[in-house]
Amino acid sequence: MKRNTAYLPLHEGRAPAYLFERMVRLSGAMTSLIIEEYGSEEMLRRLSDPWWFQAFGCILGFDWHSSGLTTVCCGALKEAQKRYRDIGIFVAGGKGKQSRKTPLEIIEIADQIGISQGEDLVRTSKLVAKVDSAALQDGFSLYHHCFFFNSSGSWCVIQQGMNESTGYARRYHWLSEHTKDFVCNPHFAIEDLKETNEDVLDPSNSSSSNPSFYDNSFILNMISSESENSRQACSTLARENPQKTLNLISEMRDESTLFAPSRHQLTPADFFPTRLKALHKALIAAYERDPKDFQSLLETPLVGPATIRSLALIAELVFGIPFSRKDPLENVPKRVEGRSWADYSFAHGGKDGIPYPVDRASYDRNIEILEKALQKAKIGYSEKKEALKRLARLSQETIPI
């Protein structure tokens, strides 16, 4: 699986209407031209590359390093697909409540375009979200999930989580053609803002706001190769009698180890009996499903972060089977590029006036150029198709009987 990660800081403010309208038109035209020239599989590959996606957002005129670039760019592509219909890929999901509509939107689109992979795509969407929220607990809470796919059933996912204590977001990219294992070593590359935020991301900086180097003791990385034995142990524990597993948890009364959030305040949901009740329901659901492996366990309804963390801790404390506490950013090779994605913000400017206010005249002129190029490309394609049809008819007429 190709899965990339990017760090982005939180910026306040929304894309103004004048800019978003242009983003829809330009993103639709660029996507259509790329697919016309290279095919929809290539567009999915580019979206799965965090460096390319970030440069794409800069071209569209959003803040060059804001976490909002993710949600706004995906939203613009989704609106372009809805408005123009034939940009070559389909988009489902989005930010917050919209992300929970992803399965329904995938099925609706699959029915509209007449493909049979709708249910499989829904399963993939749900599993990808579960992996980054339950199997990988790295301090970032998911709030955005966007699912892109084509008529052949190929797909990519862009989803993003926020670390409330640091104000930074982490973006995760997935690509179907590299999928081999959903739950083991899916990382491909990592992009962060080290070049432009050395004071924040420098390992020597001990500030608590440092998003790359916070306390790893709370990290649960069940998708690391180091967690293979723990994954097996978790699925084995899930097949045990739920009450037996619950008794083991009850014996380990240190709920701060099992369930501690990053905040200090207590809420009603933090009281141990309440958490045990919810955990009991999840264990029953897992037991009834009889998961054959860790992926099956993840796909079980009601099984979430607390269940996975509890099972992993039982395996570690009772059976001596450790899980990985490494941040997924560690030990992942950095890609080297000839230029920074920020260079592309000079194409039209940026929403907040950096590097300069959006140049609407240049933006509109470039949209017009691209839309005319796309129109010519489509006309050329139609002419080629008609010529092939005429050639086929001529061939049939001249074949001797």
Is residue 393, in this structure, part of any structural domain at all? no
Tell me whether residue 175 is in a domain: yes
Domain identity same for 66 and 137: yes
Residue 157, domain member (yes or no) = yes
Residue 24 and residue 141 share a domain: yes
Residues 38 and 84 in one domain: yes
Does 252 lie in the same domain as 310? yes
**Statement to judge: residues 361 and 270 lie in one domain:** no
Q: Work out how many domains the chain is built from and give that number.
A: 2
At position 100, the amino acid (one-letter code) is: R
Neighbours of 115 (CB within 10 A): 17
Q: Which domain holds residue 233?
A: 226-319
Q: Is residue 382 part of a domain?
A: no
The answer to whether residues 166 and 250 belong to one domain is no
- My answer on whether 266 and 302 are in the same domain is yes
Would 377 be classed as within a structural domain?
no
Domain boundary among 287, 319, 351: 319
Task: Identify whether residues 197 and 256 lie together within a single domain.
Answer: no
pLDDT in tens, the chain (401 residues): 444 555 555 555 577 899 999 999 999 999 999 999 899 999 999 998 888 998 899 999 887 666 788 999 999 999 999 998 889 999 999 999 999 999 999 999 999 999 999 999 999 999 999 999 999 998 889 999 999 999 999 999 999 988 888 778 888 889 998 878 999 866 554 454 333 333 333 444 434 444 444 567 789 999 999 999 999 999 999 999 999 988 887 776 554 555 455 554 444 444 445 478 888 999 999 999 999 999 999 999 999 999 999 999 999 988 899 999 988 777 555 554 556 667 788 888 888 788 888 999 999 999 999 998 888 887 776 665 566 566 556 555 554 44
Measured distance CA(170)–CA(26) in Å, rounded = 26
Asked whether residue 178 falls in the same domain as residue 73, the answer is yes
Same domain (yes/no): 199, 275: no
Check: CB of residue 84 under 8 Å from CB of residue 68. no
Do 281 and 163 have their domain in common? Answer: no
The DSSP secondary structure of 135-192, one letter per residue, reads IEESS-EEEEEEEEE-TTS-EEEEEEEEETTTTEEEEEEEEGGG-S-TTS----EEE-
How many helices (H) and strands (E) in the chain? Answer: 14, 8
SS3 of 198-264: the string is HHHHCCCCCCCCCCCCCCHHHCEECCCHHHHHHHHHHHHHHCCCHHHHHHHHHHCCCHHHHHCCCCC
Task: Mark whether 333 and 279 lie in a shared domain.
Answer: no
End residue of a domain, out of 319, 340, 357: 319
Q: What does 90-147 look like in DSSP terms, one character per residue?
A: EEEEEEGGGGGGHHHHHHHHHHHHT-S-HHHHHHHHHHHHHIIIIIEESS-EEEEEEE
284 SS3 class:
helix
**Residues 121, 149 contacting (CB under 8 angstroms):** yes
